[in-house]
């Protein structure tokens, strides 16, 4: 018995069980009653079991029929879901799309794509929550969550981009003028770091097989990357920042990258869909557009 032989019969059987009538099942499927009766009879022969007890007055589902119906119902639901997805795909996307993303990553990397998406699809409404608080996977009801970290926060995710970090300083800052060639030269300078309990931080460096951790001191700590960027441009010290945040200032020659041949921290951004099994067509369309947009950006590499 080939499994493909039973696909149509499974759909027919599920409808018969739900209506308990060959006539009603035939009407709902747009088929003839004789086709329904013949399909069920052939199905029972192929399976070698009795699924239905039929009399002139009623139809009763056998015990094995009730158990097999659960599989048929799930298959029918998947088929209906697939049909609905294709219908939605060919229609103009419409509806509400709710997204949560980290503040700086969202502003730099998500908002530009959303701008284009909203302009392209006039029947779409977007609610974007830019926040650095952790996503509550049980309570939050966003359609999409964009998270940044070293590892995926959940099992079902879509990778978006790698995020390299580096050291940046104003062109007239002493470190930028001193032609630093080795991480060992860094401790004598002042650093702009994310605010934390300690005034020192061990910065990681990798070059080939060589790995170093260099302790540096910070007199100016801030809990926001944009503020660190501004302080670095003002010449307040060396800032440790994601490369995508510093890229525009680099291009404008307001910042220079120190030790660009050394790799530092690498983080990753991930896209989490709240209902990954059956995403709405609107959600799936935006996910594809966002992944394509971030793949084409050149601001994530060192």
Residue 22 has pLDDT above 80, yes or no: yes
Rounded distance, CA 93 to CA 299, Å? 29
216 phi-psi bin (left φ>0, alpha ψ -120 to 50, beta other): beta
Q: In this structure, are residues 15 and 25 in contact, taking their beta carbons and an 8 Å threshold?
A: yes
Q: How far is CA 112 from the centre of its chain?
A: 17
Is there a contact between 143 and 283 (Cβ–Cβ < 8 Å)? Answer: yes
Mean pLDDT value of segment 2-16: 79
Average pLDDT over residues 41-68: 89
CA distance 130 to 121: 22
pLDDT greater than 90 at residue 181: no
Pairing of strands 210-222, 190-194: parallel
For tokens 């084409």, the residue is 296
Cβ neighbours of 4 (radius 10 Å): 7
Q: What angle do CA 142, 112, 271 make, to 5 degrees?
A: 40
What average pLDDT is seen over the chain? 86
What are the helix (H) ranges across the chain? 7-19, 22-29, 33-47, 63-90, 103-105, 111-120, 174-177, 225-233, 243-251, 281-296
Tokens at 119, concatenated: 């302009």
Burial (Cβ within 10 Å: 0-12, 13-18, ≥19) of residue 215: exposed
Find the mean pLDDT for residues 179-200: 80
Confidence of residue 165 (pLDDT cuts 50, 70, 90): very high
Q: What is the pLDDT of residues 105-148, one digit of tens each?
A: 999 999 999 999 999 888 889 999 999 888 887 788 889 999 99
> What pLDDT shows up at residue 153?
79
């Amino acid at each position: 018995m080939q499994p493909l032989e039973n696909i149509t019969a499974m759909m027919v059987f599920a409808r018969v069980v739900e209506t308990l009538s060959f006539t009603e099942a035939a009407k709902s499927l747009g088929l003839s009653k004789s086709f329904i009766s013949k399909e069920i009879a052939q199905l029972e022969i192929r399976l070698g079991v009795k699924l239905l007890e039929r009399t002139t007055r009623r139809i009763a589902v056998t015990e094995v029929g009730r158990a097999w119906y659960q599989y048929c119902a799930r298959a029918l639901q998947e088929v209906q879901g697939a049909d609905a997805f294709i219908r939605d795909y060919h229609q103009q996307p419409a509806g509400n799309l709710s997204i949560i993303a980290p503040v700086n990553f969202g502003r730099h990397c998500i908002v530009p794509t959303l701008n284009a998406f909203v302009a392209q699809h006039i029947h779409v409404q977007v609610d974007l929550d830019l926040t650095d608080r952790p996503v509550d996977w049980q309570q939050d009801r966003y359609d999409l969550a964009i998270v940044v970290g070293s590892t995926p926060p959940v099992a079902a995710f879509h990778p978006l981009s790698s995020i390299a970090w580096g050291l940046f300083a104003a062109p007239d800052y002493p470190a930028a003028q001193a032609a630093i060639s080795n991480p060992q030269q860094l401790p004598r300078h002042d650093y702009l770091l994310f605010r934390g309990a300690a005034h020192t931080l061990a910065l990681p460096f990798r070059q080939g097989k060589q790995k170093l951790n260099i302790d540096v001191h910070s007199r100016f700590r801030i809990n926001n990357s944009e503020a660190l960027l501004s302080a670095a441009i003002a010449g307040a010290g060396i800032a440790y920042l994601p490369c995508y945040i510093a890229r525009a200032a680099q291009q404008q020659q307001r910042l220079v990258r120190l030790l660009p041949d050394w790799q530092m921290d690498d983080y990753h951004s991930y896209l989490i869909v709240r209902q990954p099994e059956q995403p709405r067509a609107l959600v799936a369309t935006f996910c594809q557009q966002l992944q394509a947009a971030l793949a084409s950006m050149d601001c994530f590499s060192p």
